Structure 1
């Protein structure tokens, strides 16, 4: 089934409005960067007054958390946000040097490392496999994953997506193979609009698109519980990780993000309200999205690396990744010490 812009343009416009101004810019391939305040200060031996960090984001989720918890107020360095609708364009920007820090799920980080082995995993975010799943319209005749044989499944957002990993895992669980379905890759905002218009029958996607679609009536065939690790990661570009001034700023940002996650866990209702306001997501969807978000964060450690290596090996075995990734080689466990 071919899908063109003309098939769902009105729905696409509604989707762009739904996800707010920043994701709209990302949907059209533009880098959405907003200046933030900074103060001149020093931290121990590193002078950070001249540092500017570009903080990558997906669908405004990290920014909403930060602004809800107000943890970046008064930073001793400048920062600005760069928002994208999915991991693929986010990592393309990081690879080009336009983004310093990028948050993403486990498999997108590995896929990014295929094209950019200089990136460094610097932090781990603990979430849930319930953040993603395979969706069908409310009145679809499809009732289980086994019913997908011969169907076309649209995946957000590109090869190496957490949704691709989840789909293949669900197919195996149901006694099918990836060759039993036709797979298409579509960026999330476009897929959201196409699904809403009825142009997509089966959609494998992730929050916030997943949560909002379910709130609007989509039915879940299978979520990622027991298939996906539920871990997310924050990566630093190779250049940022190698710059001593930026390293010091990155350590500070990551500690502030930890505090933001702790605040959100302690204030779930307030966080959901602010998330809904900042991202323009419906409140009921926002409550579900924030309740299963990757909020607990820590600097990457050996246990995280071991878990991600299992994902990497599985993805390579299933031909999702073109080569095996050595997770230890792309991880920076000495960030705090350095």
Structure 2
């Protein structure tokens, strides 16, 4: 039963309307790859843009449909509802979903330098250091257990503050973006395109996730139902390798990738350039090093009461799809 991620109050009907499709309900393990359709969960068209711009799916024998969401919480809710075969998020949203009982396994790790997540403040806020956050309201996107919340918790701890020293409010990114732009939000912990837009709209970066302030890892997850279908599992294994090729392409073709973000997402060219420079650059097998690093994230967030119950990261992985 989903508990904490239910904060993203989307009904099953709304989820299916957003995705435009449901997951393949067939469990026929004898079907050919031509008969397989993978419903790939995405956030802010990120994976779609990378795949389309790089041409990484050329020659694939299976079909791909996209399930599009603005944040991790509704995406994991879609996985639980059977409206997506896969999930894509930073480490903590995956941990939160696992803790909340969503039926999936992590199947591959993503890696970047952490600059895609940050705390953005308005220049008039009077906040010039992390210590200035004491007593302040901080809006966290998108929901409890987001990667931006981990950044907030970690930097507070690093600066001798407790999590209870700030007043946290959760708000989905598009709503927070509008409120930040109008001056109703002074401090915003966010990520990706929303971070870039916040900086463009009069914000300044207080701190980002570089230099180990976040783990730098994200996860591709696959639903238990998809993993139980051998034909889908085979297709998923191929998709992970193609995504790895696509991410390698983005790291060596940043200008072309930025142009694709402008074209497909309608982003401002300056925002697109920022996003292209901070994107995940690798797809990795889930190793003991990945599990150990992410377990530290889980333990910190469990310690402050955000992740409850805690998650055994290694036991939540299926390492058979990507060696």
**Normalized against structure 2, the TM-score is what?**
0.89
Partner of 2:89: 104
For structure 2, the residue ranges without an aligned partner over 5 or more in a row are 1-9, 22-29
**In the alignment, is the contact (CA less than 8 A) between 2:107 and 2:322 conserved in 1?**
no
1:31 positional shift: 4.7
Partner of 1:54: 39
**In the alignment, is the contact (CA less than 8 A) between 1:31 and 1:84 conserved in 2?**
no
Q: Do residues 309 (structure 1) and 295 (structure 2) align?
A: yes
1:163 to 148, 153, 156: 148
1:336 positional shift: 4.5
1:148-159 aligned within 5 A: 148-159=133-144
Partner of 1:274: 260
CA distance in 1, matches of 2:245, 2:162: 42
**Normalized against structure 1, the TM-score is what?**
0.85
Deviates more, 1:137-146 or 1:260-269: 137-146
CA distance in 2, matches of 1:242, 1:335: 12
1:75-224 aligned within 5 A: 75-116=60-101, 118-224=103-209
Deviates more, 1:262-271 or 1:309-318: 309-318
Partner of 1:227: 213
Deviates more, 1:168-177 or 1:237-246: 168-177
Q: How many residues are paired up?
A: 304
Q: Deviations over 1:179-228 (max 9, x none)?
A: 11111000111101110111111110001100121133311111122221
Q: Using a 3 Å threshold, how does the CA distance of structure 1 residues 200 and 336 change in structure 2: closer, same or farther? A: closer
CA distance in 2, matches of 1:249, 1:304: 24
For structure 1, the residue ranges without an aligned partner over 5 or more in a row are 1-24, 37-44
Partner of 1:288: 274
State the superposition RMSD in angstroms: 2.2
1:30 positional shift: 4.8
**In the alignment, is the contact (CA less than 8 A) between 1:32 and 1:83 conserved in 2?**
no
